[in-house]
Structure formats: structure tokens, C-alpha cells
Amino acid sequence: MVALVGRPNVGKSTLFNALTRSRDALVHDEPGVTRDRHYGICRLVEDHPFGLCDTGGLSGEEEGLAGATARQSRAAVEEADLVLFVVDGREGPSALDESILAWLRKSGRRFFLVVNKVDGLDLQAVLSEFARFGVEKIIPVAAAHQRGVPELLDEVIPEL
Ligand code: GDP
Ligand code: MG
């Protein structure tokens, strides 16, 4: 299971859709507290299907990231083998990204940084902006255009 986390509007759901290649197939909501977690299966690499969990987005409005959205994101992180921390390459690093980063580090889960929306951007400039996060693996993608998806899968699948 791979979990997608990050603040709202960075493109988590777009990436989820690119990986599951479907707008709604296999996506279902669980009742109750987990209603913002969406599950799907990535079958883009033959013989290596894996589960994917999209989350509602950490807004930081809840004190200490402890509100309902944080709870479901935390649950997703806890059940994940690998977390994809999605950020917005157009907006660059934000304070909220930094607090999510700290929160992820505390979780102890293995995670990669996925820099989305790199279409039309100077890749080197974007990646160097996020280098200070000190994450071992940074993967640029443009989920809306399916760009970077094969490279992302090359990194993710060996981890599962
Ligand atoms: P989420 O809140 O993190 O799930 O973000 P969404 O997947 O709903 O996307 C938020 C916005 O970013 C939407 O308007 C998307 O069309 C846009 N978006 C997502 N991926 C890309 C991308 O690769 N490039 C660009 N330019 N926009 C994107
Ligand atoms: Mg979403």
C-alpha cells in the first residue's frame, strides 16, 4: 500500500487518477472517520500491482495537524508501506509543506518527495528549491500530463 499525502491542491488526486488510470473505478469511500480516504489499485506495471490510498489533504488549520483530515492522513500513513509526499512545483516549498515534512519524519514511515506540476518549469531550479527538505528521493512529475509516472513507478515498485 502506497499513501499519497500533502496539502490541498498539490495534485494528489490527479496523481492517484494517473496511477490508477481511472476516474472512479475501484475508488470507494469508507464510512465514518475514513471517508476521505480513497483506495485504488495501480496496475501500470505488469506483475506488480499495488494498492494506493489518496487522502483529503493536510490543511494545517487543525492545531498540530490533529484534526479530522490529519487523522485520516495519519491512518493512511500508518497502513502504508511507502508514502508519497506530494508538493506543488509551481508554488515551491511552503510553510505547510515544512510542517507536513516534520510530521512525516516523526511518523517514521519511509517516504519520497514527489514534486508535481513541473510541466513548463525549469526542472533544475524547481528541484534545487526542494533540495533543502533533505529527502533522499525527489521525483518530479506532471500528473495531469502523465509525465514522470514511469520514473516514479521505477522508484516505488522496488520498495514494496
Ligand atoms: P489535491 O487537492 O492534492 O488532490 O489536488 P488535485 O488533484 O485536485 O489538483 C489540484 C489542481 O492542480 C487541479 O486544478 C489540477 O488540474 C491541477 N494539477 C494537478 N496536476 C497538475 C500538473 O501536473 N500540472 C498542472 N499544471 N496542474 C496540475
Ligand atoms: Mg484530492
| Side chain identity at residue 63, one-letter code | E
Taking only the tens place, the pLDDT of each residue in 65-82 is 546 667 788 889 999 999
The model's confidence at residue 107, banded by pLDDT at 50, 70 and 90, is very high
Taking only the tens place, the pLDDT of each residue in 3-49 is 999 988 999 999 999 999 855 434 344 443 334 568 999 999 999 99
* Cβ atoms within 10 Å of 61's Cβ, excluding its own: 10
pLDDT at 52 over 80: yes
Looking up cell 509551481 gives 90
Query: What's the pLDDT score for residue 65?
Result: 52
The answer to whether the Cα torsion of 145, 112, 24, 35 is positive or negative is negative
Taking only the tens place, the pLDDT of each residue in 121-146 is 999 999 999 999 999 999 999 999 99
What is the DSSP code string of 24-83? STT--BPSGGGTT-EEEEE-SSTT--EEEEE-----S-SGGG-SHHHHHHHHHHHH-SEE
Angle at 25 between CA 24 and CA 31, to 5 degrees: 70
Name the residue with the closest Cα to ligand 1, atom 27. 117
pTM given for the model:
0.90
Average pLDDT over residues 50-57: 89
Question: Residue 15: which of 125, 133, 112, 121 has the closest Cα?
Answer: 112
ipTM of the complex: 0.99
Ligand 1 near 116 CB (within 6 A): yes
Plot region of 88 (φ>0 → left; ψ -120 to 50 → alpha; else → beta): beta
If you measure from the C-alpha of residue 47 to the centroid of ligand 1, how many angstroms do you get, rounded to a whole number?
Answer: 29
Copy the grid coordinates of residue 119: 510541466
Ligand 1 near 143 CB (within 6 A): yes
Ligand 1 near 56 CB (within 6 A): no
The model's confidence at residue 148, banded by pLDDT at 50, 70 and 90, is very high
| Domains in the chain, CATH or no CATH each | 2-159 (3.40.50.300)
Judge whether 42 and 52 are in contact, CB under 8 Å: yes
Binding site residues for GTP, as ranges? 6-13, 54-58, 116-119
| Side chain identity at residue 13, one-letter code | S
Average pLDDT over residues 98-122: 95
Name the residue with the closest Cα to ligand 1, atom 11. 9
Query: Could you tell me which residues come within 8 angstroms of residue 17 by beta carbon, excluding any fewer than 6 positions away?
Result: 23, 143
What percent of the chain stands above pLDDT 90?
71
